[in-house]
Structure 1
Amino acid sequence: MLRDGILPYSIKKYTNMSKRERWHEIYTNLWFTPILYAFLSFILIAVTMMLDFSFGAGQAVSPFLSVSSQLTNTIVSTLTTAILSVSTFTFNSILVVFTTFSGQFSPRVLKNFIANKATQRVLGIFTGSFLYVVICFFFIDTQSTSKFFTIPLTAICLAVLSAGTFIFFINHSVKWLQVNHMTENMKAESVNIIQNSLQQELDPYRVEETDAISAEFPECPGHQVVAPRSGYIQVVDFINLIEEAKKDNLLIKMEVKVGDYNYASTPMLKYWKKDASTVDEYKYQKLISVGKHQTEIQDIEFSINKLVEVAIRSLGNNDPKTAINTIYQIGDLLVLISQIGYFAPYLKDKCGELRIILKDLSFEDYLHVGFGCIRHYSRDNVLITIEMLKALKLMAQSIHPNHYQSLWDFAAGTAEGLESDWLFNFDNRLFYKALFDLAEITKNEHEYKKLKQKVSCEV
């Protein structure tokens, strides 16, 4: 058995990951699916060779269907070149897609394209097909008088499959280059993260009644658990963290949240021990994964920021339609967050004992994450600002009234920050109508009148 020091880092890192991290890393890696298809290709090679060489399938079938060794060699060698050519052209197409995505949208959306099952299956089919024909080519003796059936038939079927896969991949790439499909896919990924990180993982442990929580806070300074190295907080195993805190009878306060960059030897969490027993701080370090880059496993903010970057790039490329579509997608995500998240930073164990105090984001924070940068870069674009106000209005019609004031405060700040020395009359009417509609839903008509007077004087 290999020791940890012998294993290369590329393999060793998987042993240090949680199960959730490991599966995410594997499925978003471009190597996993092609290796799987290559393994299936070796199985297919063994089966077809056994049928032709050991069981004489070519002799058993009709002479019309059997193929001589020389013709089989010619077929396989020709298909080897053809499949390699198609594979090369496909890989070139992937590079073109990567370049387009990086330049026009965001380099961070490349991972979405790579992790897409269709993309990985295309590469897997080409890899498996090429391996099959090139390995079979070396086992066929042109001087032999043997007849073949399963090898040439399988090679032809794989060539037809590769041709069909090539057509599918072209259609798949063109579809992915459509912005609506890309943003919809990114939103679906964000929804999955929200449901896993907020609804399924944290919400069962959140404390809903927070009025009496302050009485449980210790007055003495706690003990700190520091980061083992510098990097982004990628994943926090909250469930095991609660269980370990229960075993050690601890109260833990998180000093960081998922997505934060933390320096080595700076605090990640603080804990208070309710008895005199010792605490193994190393096991708490292991429950917090620190890496070189941000991941989408638990980081909702990072996932939303990818959509934000698409919107900002679209504004810079004079593509308002893409920016508007992305704004509505972000609004839809924020509605989902407001509906499934309690936003209480307190987590309890199964016995109802307070165990973890999170450094969490409120709905107002998520609202700023989603629209703050877009508001900044569109402060001189009244049309985009109007669409943002319309998106806020739609959100107000869907979320709980508790969040009305956050929406109105953000809209009021947006209106005050609009940089425009003049407006067309029609744009002016649309702007104030969108603002009034939001004020009416959020019960801020009086504030709207004062804001309109203030903005009108400034404009």
Structure 2
Amino acid sequence: MEKWTLRARKEIWFVPSLYALASIILTAIIISIDTVFADSVQNYLPKVFFTNVDLSTTILSSIATAILTMTTISFSTIMVVLTTYSSQFSPRTLQDFMTEKTTLRVLGVFVGSFIYTVSSLLFMKDWLDDQRVLASGVGVILAVICVGYFVFFIHHVARSIQVSKLIERLMKEGLISLKKKKLLYKAEKITFETLQAPTDYTETKELQPKATGYIQVIDMEGLTKEAKEHGFHLVLKKRIGDFVTERSTIATVYFTKKPSKELDVTAYIEVGEERTPLQDAEFALQKLAEVALRAISPGINDPNTANNCIRYMSRLLIEFGEVDAEAISYLDENKDQRVTIPQRTFQEILYTAFYQIRIYGERDISVVLTILECLILTAEGSEKAIRNNIKEMYEFLVGSIKEDYFEPLDVKKIEEKKAVLEGLLK
């Protein structure tokens, strides 16, 4: 399912195409009513919806022009938003706006309504002059819907370019991916393991991807069923989000019986030109870190935005701590391990979250204090085992703080944060 979701999200035309198809069906229905069932339908619908052909042509022409204008303005607005996302936040956040359901739905409504009005005009023939038609009434309804969506879209765009909304949305992207793992664990469909090769097998086979790019999604459910049917255990050597080439070894298949020559499990692994947060919660964390880095750059110089990103990162780090393991194994109905995929440990995730921010924010007292605050928030929401990992990162970060850069009052604030964190990590 996630593989098809990814493909639908990658193709921006997909959702508008569905609306266009629906508009063609609607056009066929309305034209059938106007040409075949007009007399009987007029007895059941209000007379106000029916007009003569001349008036209907005028109304539909005006609606088509207005919808095309709204669509043009919407596309222009989208370009402005994309420019803002790329220059102010991060190029990786562009896909977040373009693949949002709201954006695609608005474009779909505009495209579908325009197709309906133009198609209806095509069927406004001279031989209908003596007959009242429904097409313009439906067109007016669609025009009102388009106006409503247009106002909603302007409101949506105004909210989307607010950095606080973007940060919250990035956090939720990561949470969705992490909570899916927790639900699978509670349902006993996965286990958290150390990464190791199976011992009971007759033959092995190494797999290479069919393309160069990032591992975007893996159809774990399909792979698990395939592994049970053909009797093998698949151990991936690359994580979701890793960059691979056609010559990279991404997995090893351990067969427990003679393998089938027609077996092709690479079809379950999607490799594309960019990372996606569908199964890659670390990507959401990376985007938060990138927004923070862009905010503290000399060109933008907005440390408050960076601090907001770092605080929201703490919520993701708490969830990462709850699924901490070297690898995840997917189980079949008999609870046998079928697919094992490596993942970064909580210690590695902590390092990935802060190693760049630590360098570029080392002279900004507010960033240093917020990093310590983030560790405090993470420690407060984590269990004892996770706090030990936080302690190692704390020692790494504290060792890199150069107190010579700061005034005595700044150092005092740092010591206060350190005292609180040390109390939690005892």
Deviation of the 1:177 alpha carbon: 0.9
Alignment of 1:35-434 (within 5 A): 35-56=17-38, 66-141=50-125, 145-197=129-181, 199-200=183-184, 204-207=188-191, 217=199, 223-246=205-228, 250-273=232-255, 277-278=258-259, 280=261, 282-316=263-297, 317-339=300-322, 341-345=323-327, 347=329, 349-350=331-332, 351=334, 353=336, 355=338, 357-419=340-402, 421-434=404-417
Structure 1 residues 54 and 411: CA distance shift in structure 2, 3 A: same
Structure 1 residues 142 and 81: CA distance shift in structure 2, 3 A: farther
Q: What amino acid maps onto 2:147 in structure 1? A: A
Q: What amino acid maps onto 1:397 in structure 2? A: E
Q: Distance in 1 between matches of 2:331 and 2:98?
A: 38
What is residue 2 of structure 2 aligned with on the other side? 20
Q: What amino acid maps onto 1:70 in structure 2? A: D
Q: Deviations over 1:98-145 (max 9, x none)?
A: 111111112222221122111111111111111122222222246853
Q: Which consecutive residues of structure 1, in runs of 5 or more, have no partner in the other structure?
A: 1-18, 444-459
Give me the CA root mean square deviation. Answer: 3.1
Deviation of the 1:54 alpha carbon: 2.5
Deviation of the 1:172 alpha carbon: 0.6
TM-score where L is the length of structure 2: 0.87
Q: Indicate conservation of the 8 Å contact 1:205/1:348, yes or no.
A: yes
Structure 1 residues 221 and 411: CA distance shift in structure 2, 3 A: farther
Structure 1 residues 219 and 426: CA distance shift in structure 2, 3 A: farther
Q: Distance in 2 between matches of 1:54 and 1:67?
A: 16
TM-score where L is the length of structure 1: 0.82
Structure 1 residues 47 and 300: CA distance shift in structure 2, 3 A: same
Q: Indicate conservation of the 8 Å contact 1:206/1:345, yes or no.
A: no
Structure 1 residues 157 and 227: CA distance shift in structure 2, 3 A: closer
Q: What amino acid maps onto 1:267 in structure 2? A: T
Alignment of 1:430-441 (within 5 A): 430-441=413-424
Q: Distance in 2 between matches of 1:73 and 1:304?
A: 54
Aligned length: 421
- SS of equivalent residue, structure 2 residue 188: helix
Q: Deviations over 1:312-336 (max 9, x none)?
A: 1111211122211111211101112
Q: Deviations over 1:423-451 (max 9, x none)?
A: 233322211111111111001xxxxxxxx
Q: Deviations over 1:166-197 (max 9, x none)?
A: 11111110011111111212221211111224
Q: Distance in 2 between matches of 1:215 and 1:127?
A: 52
- SS of equivalent residue, structure 1 residue 298: coil
- SS of equivalent residue, structure 1 residue 234: strand
Q: Deviations over 1:333-383 (max 9, x none)?
A: 1112222x1515263745455555543211111212222222222122121
Q: Distance in 2 between matches of 1:327 and 1:244?
A: 41
Percent sequence identity over aligned pairs: 28
Q: What amino acid maps onto 2:384 in structure 1? A: P
Q: Higher relative CO (CA 8 A, sep ≥ 6), structure 1 or 2?
A: 2
Structure 1 residues 373 and 73: CA distance shift in structure 2, 3 A: same
Q: Deviations over 1:189-215 (max 9, x none)?
A: 2111112245427983555687xx989
Q: Which consecutive residues of structure 2, in runs of 5 or more, have no partner in the other structure?
A: none
What is residue 11 of structure 1 aligned with on the other side? none
Q: Larger Rg: 1 or 2?
A: 1
